[in-house]
């Protein structure tokens, strides 16, 4: 089967890690004769913005709509405000293609040690399901009396029944499908008195349809602490857009860092293309040095293979990443080694082809 893949390498380390990702796609083609990828690469990034005054062409979303899936590296560069680069590229893609699930595994890979050292052997393996289209990241609001002592900034949160139900339903069905039984909803209904009680109600309504599951709503502040003190007790955590954003970086940190954390922006109905990307950004502090960790990007391709229905290939890719980490001699500096981006990418790909 031929898959059309839209690729946006982006800025900073984005293109560096994407190069390894594209090698992984080639290797998968080699391994599985029946799968191939038709790659279309787009230079939509901050340089494009500086030249054209926009992050992508006017019909950029229509172009992307033609692909089966989208792969993104990372976006963001000094000189272009993040609210432009992110708001005008990533968020429109997530919204137009109804990628309302942002799925982010927090899984301690074989060979890695969690910075929560005392949990070294604990089973750190859970998924954070973040709402990806509404909530706190709404463009409703504004500023009044700019620059005066009376200045006011208002940002509205938007929680619709449709949007809230579908993300919580997804989290429950994901747990059910993967044989997991514990679901945590992130809330703050003691402080945010309209949207969060609404979120809680819907969580409980849907939870009632799954009486065999253990469900809990935790306030976001306490939940953040539990991420450190008892992450081994989690299976699935479902959270609003902002809470999920924060929790997923925390989840990445407890399993070894941003260089190892992938994500899928998923349209579960498969009406539109889904998009896979590392959680991390363009890392201007290490860009150009060739030392970025490519694992988050390669793992995002493993998630992409799962999404396309090739779970065997997704599994093979992740298992090979773990083999290389466990073997331990080829690692980038962020995980304690001296290898370059391409050395680590090659180590994974060669090992996979050799299997
Ligand atoms: P960042 O994720 O780019 O970097 C945070 C820290 O993690 C840095 O010290 C960086 O060196 C390290 N790091 C990140 N990825 C790494 C990798 N693969 N290997 C080794 N080390 C890695 O976050 P930051 O600095 O807050 O943002 C930089 C730019 O990226 C900003 O313009 C921001 O808006 C953008 N950004 C873009 C995202 C996206 O494209 N989805 C997501 C997050 C940030
Ligand atoms: Mg984030």
- Which ipTM was obtained for this model? 0.97
pLDDT at 32: 87
Q: What pLDDT tens digit does each residue of the chain (355 aa) get? A: 999 999 999 999 999 999 999 999 999 999 988 899 999 999 999 999 999 999 999 999 999 999 999 999 999 999 999 989 988 999 899 999 999 999 999 999 999 988 887 776 678 999 999 999 999 998 899 999 999 999 999 999 999 999 999 999 999 999 999 999 999 999 999 999 999 999 999 999 999 999 999 999 999 999 999 999 999 999 999 999 999 999 998 999 999 889 999 999 999 999 999 999 999 999 999 999 999 999 999 999 999 999 999 999 999 999 999 999 999 999 999 999 999 999 999 999 999 998 8
pLDDT at 123: 81
CB 191 within 8 A of CB 243: no
**Domain 113-254 is in which class?**
alpha beta
**CA-angle at 152, arms to 149 and 156, nearest 5°:** 170
pLDDT at 184: 98
Both tokens of 179, joined, read 């044989």
Report the alpha-carbon distance of residue 67 to residue 70 in Å, rounded.
7
Report the alpha-carbon distance of residue 96 to residue 62 in Å, rounded.
10
pLDDT at 121: 67
CB 73 within 8 A of CB 17: yes
> Could you tell me the distance, in angstroms and rounded to a whole number, from the CA of residue 208 to the centre of ligand 2?
31
Report the alpha-carbon distance of residue 277 to residue 58 in Å, rounded.
23
Write down the domain spans for the chain: 1-99+262-355, 113-254
pLDDT at 99: 97
Report the alpha-carbon distance of residue 168 to residue 303 in Å, rounded.
20
- Site to probe by mutation for ligand 1, drawn from 21, 258, 338 as the one with most ligand atoms within 8 Å of Cβ, is 258
**Domain 1-99+262-355 is in which class?**
alpha beta
* pTM attached to this predicted model: 0.94
> Could you tell me the distance, in angstroms and rounded to a whole number, from the CA of residue 283 to the centre of ligand 1?
4
- Give yes or no on whether 1-99+262-355 and 113-254 have one common fold: yes
Alpha helix (H) residue ranges in the chain: 13-31, 46-52, 60-65, 82-85, 91-96, 161-177, 195-207, 220-229, 241-254, 295-307, 311-327, 341-354
Q: Among residues 54, 107, 62, 15, which one has the least CA distance to residue 319?
A: 107
CB 316 within 8 A of CB 355: yes
* Ligand 1, CB cutoff 6 Å, lining residues: 13, 17, 74-76, 82, 86, 90, 258-259, 277, 280-286, 292-293, 296, 334
Residue whose Cα lies nearest atom 43 of ligand 1: it is: 281
Say which residue the tokens 């044989």 belong to.
179
């Amino acid at each position: 089967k031929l898959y059309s893949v839209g690729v946006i390498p982006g800025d900073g380390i984005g293109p560096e890690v994407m190069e390894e990702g594209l090698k992984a796609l080639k290797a998968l083609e080699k391994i599985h004769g029946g799968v191939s990828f038709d790659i279309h690469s787009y230079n939509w990034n901050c340089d494009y913005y500086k030249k054209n005054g926009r992050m992508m062409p006017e019909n950029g979303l229509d172009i992307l709509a033609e692909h089966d899936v989208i792969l993104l590296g990372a976006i963001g560069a000094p000189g272009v405000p993040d609210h432009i680069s992110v708001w005008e590229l990533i968020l429109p893609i997530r919204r137009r293609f109804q990628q309302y699930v942002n799925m982010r595994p927090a899984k301690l890979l074989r060979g890695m040690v969690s910075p929560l050292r005392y949990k070294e052997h604990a089973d750190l393996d859970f998924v954070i399901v973040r709402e990806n289209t509404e909530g706190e990241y709404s463009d409703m609001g504004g500023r009044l009396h700019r620059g005066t002592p009376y200045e006011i900034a208002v940002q509205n949160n938007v929680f619709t029944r449709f949007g809230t139900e579908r993300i919580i339903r997804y989290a429950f069905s994901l747990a059910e499908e993967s044989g997991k039984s514990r679901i945590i909803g992130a809330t703050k209904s003691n402080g945010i008195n309209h949207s969060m009680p609404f979120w809680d109600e819907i969580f409980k309504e849907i939870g009632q349809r799954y009486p065999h599951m253990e469900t809990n709503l935790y306030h976001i502040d306490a939940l953040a602490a539990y991420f450190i003190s008892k992450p081994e007790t989690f299976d699935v955590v479902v959270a609003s857009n902002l809470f999920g954003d924060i929790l997923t970086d925390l989840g990445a940190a407890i399993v070894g860092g941003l260089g190892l954390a992938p994500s899928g922006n998923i349209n579960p109905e498969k009406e539109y293309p889904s998009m896979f990307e590392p959680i991390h950004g363009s890392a201007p502090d290490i860009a150009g040095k060739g030392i970025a960790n490519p694992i988050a990007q390669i793992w995002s391709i493993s998630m992409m293979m799962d999404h396309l229905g090739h779970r065997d290939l997704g599994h093979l890719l992740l298992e090979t990443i773990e083999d290389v980490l466990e073997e331990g001699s080829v690692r980038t500096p962020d995980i304690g080694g001296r290898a370059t981006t391409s050395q680590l990418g090659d180590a994974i790909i060669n090992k996979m082809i050799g299997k």
